[in-house]
Each structure stands twice: as structure tokens, then as C-alpha cells.
Structure 1
Amino acid sequence: MPLFAMKSSAAMIACLCLSACITQREHVLAPDAWGIVIDARQGQPVQGAQVRYPEVGALAPVMTDTDGGFTLPGLTDKRTIVALPMGGVYRSLTEVRVSASGLADGYASAAFINGGRPAKTIYRVVVLMFPADAAETPLHELMRDCVDGPEQDHALHLADYVSALDPENPPVWFDEETPEALLEHLHNALPSSGFMACERMNEAYEMFKTQTEPLEAIRRAAYIASLPPHLRPLPEPAHK
């Protein structure tokens, strides 16, 4: 085959391959979510709170019911992408924001699998709300120079709240996935890399880890309880 013909054939094959790789795929901007809003001080559901996806203006907010529950519809759009051999399925988060009279805005993360189709949240979205005049926490003092915005301020109050939880007796509104939901949001709002901007970085990060330990303990206990009896660790012997 003449050299020119070979080059032309190669170019045509490359174009065909590229055309085959360019496709339209559904991309989830926000998942279909369901959840609950709790007044942290009272330990009671918040009725009539406004729940929304602040980064997705096309979606209207919804109001919580008498039990503090809500259902928040998501949004998916079509995007032209170059499909990769690895697929494109990945875990993602969309911020949820809640407003209610007399309370500071509350935040949570709606976690979902973005895999090219309409998505639902992996677990129930739990939003804790704190008084608008809530006092600063010890972690506020350590992170005064590196807290950026109301979402992080809320996360500091949330970390302080969960530090007082009794792993043996969690709140009645907890379900088995609540620890995972709260932990994922805390680590999203206060990632370990964010502590590096704090002058008292080590103290702040150690306090944060200590504060979230009750959630870790509740999560571990739920995981162990889900195992078949023969796979559960033996209880530690009682000390005399």
C-alpha cells in the first residue's frame, strides 16, 4: 500500500475511534435526597425548615414536615464527554443547606454514586441545626485563623455536639447509617488538608479526631453487629 494511502487509512481509523469515544452521558448535579432536620439543642425535629441545594439554583427548596423529614428532588443533565476505558462511575457529594427561624443555617452532604444515571443518596441526609447565638466551641478557639465561612462554622459546632454523644445510647433519631453520614460531612467540611492553614494545626486536628471518636465508636459497633456471629470479635475479658 502506498505511504499516502496508509497515512489516510490511519487518520480515518483514528477519527472513527474518537467518534466512538465521544458520547452524551447523564451527569448528576444533585441526587434525589431524603433526610431529617434536628434542633441540636432540643433534640427534636425541626418543622417548617427550608431545605435546598444552594449550588443548584434550578431546584426549588422544600419544607420539612412535622417529623422534620424532607424529600429533595435532584437534577441530572446531559453532557458530551470523551468516555474513558475506566468508565466514569464515582462517588460524589452535593451540599445541602437548611434555614429555620431562630437557628443558624445548617449544612449536610448528600452522598451518591454518579454513574451516568439518576442517583439517590446513599444514606439519609441528617442536618443538625444550632442556635443563631450559640457560643463558640474550644475548636473555634484553635481554628480562629483558618475557619472560612458559615459551613465550616457549623461543622465546628457539629464536631463539638458529637463529642458529647454516648456510644452506648445514641439519640433516638439515629439510624444505623447516621454516623457514616455525619462523619462524611465533617470530613468534607473540615478536611485534614484544611488544618494545615491553622497556626495551631496539630492541636486543632487532634481535638477534631477526639471529638469525632464517639461517631467512630457507634459506626464500629454497628458494623460488628452486622457481621455473622462467628465473625464477631470476642468480648474483652472483664478485669477483676
Structure 2
Amino acid sequence: MVSYRGFRFPPEVISHCVWLYHRFGLSLRDVEELMLERGIEVSHEMIHQWTRRFGPAYAAALRRRHPRPGGKWHLDEVFVKIQGVRKYLWRAVDQHGNVLDILLQNRRDTAAARRFFRKPLKKTRTVPRVIVTDKLASYGAAHRTVMPSVEHRSHKGLNNRAEVSHQPTRRRERAMKGFRSMGAAQRFLGAFSEISPHFRPRRHLMTATRYRTEMIIRFAIWDQITGTTGRPVTA
């Protein structure tokens, strides 16, 4: 259970601000304004502290509820700019689109690929049946070292699942006008990659009734992991 000891605002306010910031393309000042409209005066600096402190904790609690990863993993990397310098965001998802892990690195060479291959293996404690990547040579070299017994499919057209998974990050990056440091980016994206998908079921595959039912379930899970009552946030 997440501890709120030492914080003067109730858990319902804290968790609601963290949810707003990770679920929608809002700035910290946007969240501050939304809370003020509800009669709650909290500064954007305080909301920033909450997102740094509780975002990773909520994400870890959600991660523990994940089902066992699928046997097919899609791995991909995209560049992001931090203070004008190009960095690389590596992401692994299974065939169902569940994010297994992310890692921000300076390079996309073989050493970086090996480091990234080991990270989801350690976190999930499972070995995939097959990995799917694009044609970056670093993947092949890392595959031969880290998981040579796993089938490796290398083809640009096969990796759409991972590429699609990058899209919410791209939208959030634009809304935030970039990241200030690698540490801040890794921290935020680690939480964002768990919290945001939790509230984004594959709506296009559901009826309206099924979607509402699913969202009620997901909000109930959120209340459980944040230790809140689910009551509306009011003054």
C-alpha cells in the first residue's frame, strides 16, 4: 500500500492529480487550474512533487497486476531530443500491446541493445518464444549474445506493434515541450507507460456498454492501488 504520511492533502487529491497528469496531455499548471476550479488550491510545484513521488509507485503497483507476458516480444527504438541532444528510447511490448519495459540511452549500438535485451528479461523473469525487431544490426548482434535460443524475426513491416506503442509518448513529449534530462524522462516515461495504457483499453474493439464496464473495473483497480475511496475530488 502506498504511504501518504507527511502529506497534508488527502490521498484522493494526490491520486487524482497524478491521474490527470498521466492520463491527459496536460501541463502541471493545467492540472493546478483544474483543481482550483474544484475549489482546491494546490501549486503546480506540489503537483510535480506528487507525480515524481507517487507516479512510479502507482506504476509499480499496476505492473504487479499484469498477466504473464505473451511469448512474442516486439522491440523498437525511437529518438527523442533532450536539451537539443538526440537520445534513444527503447521499448519492448508483447503481442497484446502490453509494455514490458522501456529504457532511455545515449546510443543505439550493440552494447545499448544488449543492455536493453537484459532489462525486460530481468523485470518479467520470462523468456520469449520469439522477438521481432526492425533491421538495425545491433539487434542481431545482441540477440546472438543475450538470447541465442530465442527465434529472431527481423523485418521492418513486422514491428508495427512496437511502433504504434511509441505514439502516446510522442504526443506527451510534444505537450510537455520536450524533456529536461534523461533521468526525468526515464522517471516520467516509466510511470506514464504503465498508467496511461491502464486507462486506454482498446475501445475500437468494444461496444459502448462493454467499454463503460471495463473502465469501471479499471477505476476500481486504480482506487485499490492508490489506497483511495474513489469519492469525487471536492473542496
What's the TM-score, normalizing by structure 1? 0.21
**Structure number with higher strand proportion:** 1
Which protein has the larger Cα radius of gyration, Structure 1 or Structure 2? Answer: 1
Structure of greater relative contact order (alpha carbons < 8 Å, 6+ residues apart): 2
